[in-house]
């Protein structure tokens, strides 16, 4: 028994030795609200991305002049760089929501707010112009994406788009692989401990597989070096969160899902390093970046130095490989305001646009 404990401790030390958290970018330290508006977010985004696109335009179409929206001339081809705004007929409005709540008719929330009459507008500091043509599809792009457009102004005052340049994939960091051994990172999401639909037995089987208790000593389980739980780990009864004082039995109902999750996390942390990220349903701040879940929620897990409560988004390096991800709110929001065949296509677009959450702060909350 003692020999087994020593071997487990050495194995944990080996697995932790190559891990480095890079969450400092998303951590909020002693910041206060000073009345700032969202305009400064768009200004900073445009300034950063425009500098990048200007460097790409010289190789893309060096013979075409670059101008601002205010400098457009009818019939003259040019390149303009700015932020896209998508005018959406079905986009939710808080005033409409209020009027619907007071009406007798039931409120039906669609899963996607696209409409055939949606159109795109490009704006910079000098002005905005409506975009035309078939090159730039409103079903693909969302408000907040910065692009360079080649085209010309029409007699109607629109900008006819002939070609589009996106920021493209960012330069990649060459993985510094120090070992030829296969290593695996397990990503888990939607545990929803406490939900009436969750099956504790299924998750317990997963825990047993990760920790090697199902007998797979020479398979993939033995090569798992890290576990990331990416959001929506608990489901707290929303009916209890009505702003009223809770009875003791209701207080226990609130804590039971977290206690159940802590038991499962403790088992994982005892055998392999585990990171937990907050999600949209978890007890954390709503806006991105979400701050780490309070460690005191997990009395059993926090006893292990292999347990880490992380931000959302979460970035870390493991064995020379950098990994960046979210709990999915950015992709869920893209699905509401654009169209794609699957989640992978939406994820690919964020890479091409070089923005992890382009719909912030328009339709996705963000801390400014």
Q: Mean per-residue pLDDT for 107-133?
A: 89
In this predicted structure, the answer to whether residue 35 has a pLDDT above a threshold of 90 is no
| CA within 13 Å, CB half, 151 | 27
- Domain 38-165 sits in CATH at 2.40.50.430
pTM given for the model: 0.88
pLDDT tens figures, 199-215: 888 888 999 989 888 76
Q: Mean per-residue pLDDT for 113-133?
A: 95
Q: How high is the pLDDT of residue 201? A: 86
- Angle in degrees, 0-180, between the axes of helices 329-337 and 343-353, rounded to the nearest 10: 100
- Split at pLDDT 50, 70, 90, the class of 239 is low
3-class secondary structure, 160: strand
In this predicted structure, the answer to whether residue 300 has a pLDDT above a threshold of 80 is yes
What's the rounded Cα separation, in Å, for the pair 34 and 247? 38
Q: Are 269 and 236 in contact (CB under 8 A)?
A: no
Mean pLDDT of the chain: 87
Q: Mean per-residue pLDDT for 123-151?
A: 96
Helix segments in the chain, DSSP class H: 2-16, 39-60, 94-101, 200-210, 248-269, 329-337, 343-353
Q: Where are the domains of the chain?
A: 19-30+172-239+247-353, 38-165
Q: How high is the pLDDT of residue 298? A: 96
Torsion of CA 222, 225, 231, 236, to 10 degrees: 60
pLDDT tens figures, 339-348: 999 999 999 9
Tokens of 270: 């005892």
Q: How high is the pLDDT of residue 323? A: 94
In this predicted structure, the answer to whether residue 6 has a pLDDT above a threshold of 50 is no
Q: Mean per-residue pLDDT for 131-135?
A: 95
Q: How high is the pLDDT of residue 344? A: 96
- Domain 19-30+172-239+247-353 sits in CATH at 3.60.21.50
Q: How high is the pLDDT of residue 256? A: 87
């Amino acid at each position: 028994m003692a020999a087994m404990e020593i071997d487990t401790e050495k194995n944990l030390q080996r697995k932790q030795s190559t891990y480095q958290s890079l969450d400092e970018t998303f951590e909020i330290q002693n910041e206060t609200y000073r009345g700032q508006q969202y305009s400064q977010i768009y200004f900073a985004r445009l300034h950063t991305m425009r500098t990048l696109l200007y460097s790409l335009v010289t190789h893309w179409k060096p013979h075409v002049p670059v101008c601002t929206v205010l400098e457009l001339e009818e019939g003259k081809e040019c390149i303009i760089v700015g932020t896209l705004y998508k005018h959406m007929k079905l986009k939710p409005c808080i005033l409409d929501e209020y009027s619907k709540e007071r009406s007798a008719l039931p409120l039906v929330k669609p899963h996607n707010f696209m409409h055939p009459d949606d159109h795109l507008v490009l704006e910079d500091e000098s002005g905005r112009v409506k975009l035309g043509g078939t090159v730039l599809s409103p079903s693909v792009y969302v408000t907040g994406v910065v692009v360079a457009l080649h085209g010309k102004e029409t007699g109607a005052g629109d900008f006819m788009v002939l070609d589009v340049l996106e920021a493209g994939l960012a330069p990649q960091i060459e993985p510094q692989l120090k070992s030829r051994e296969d290593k695996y990172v397990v990503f888990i999401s939607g545990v929803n401990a406490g939900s009436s639909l969750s099956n504790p037995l299924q998750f317990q089987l997963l825990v047993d597989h990760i920790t090697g208790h199902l007998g797979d000593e020479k398979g993939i389980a033995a090569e798992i070096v890290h576990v990331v739980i990416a959001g929506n780990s608990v489901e707290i009864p929303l009916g209890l969160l009505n702003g009223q004082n809770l009875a003791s039995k209701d207080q226990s109902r609130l804590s039971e899902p977290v206690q159940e999750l802590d038991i499962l996390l403790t088992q994982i942390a005892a055998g392999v390093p585990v990171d937990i990220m907050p999600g949209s349903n978890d007890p954390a701040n709503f806006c991105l970046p979400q701050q780490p879940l309070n460690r005191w929620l997990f009395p059993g897990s926090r006893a292990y130095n292999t347990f880490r409560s992380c931000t959302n988004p979460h970035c870390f390096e493991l064995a020379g490989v950098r990994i960046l991800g979210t709990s999915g709110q950015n992709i869920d929001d893209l699905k509401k305001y654009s169209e794609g065949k699957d989640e992978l296509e939406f994820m690919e677009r964020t890479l091409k646009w070089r923005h992890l959450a382009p719909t912030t702060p328009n339709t996705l909350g963000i801390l400014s």
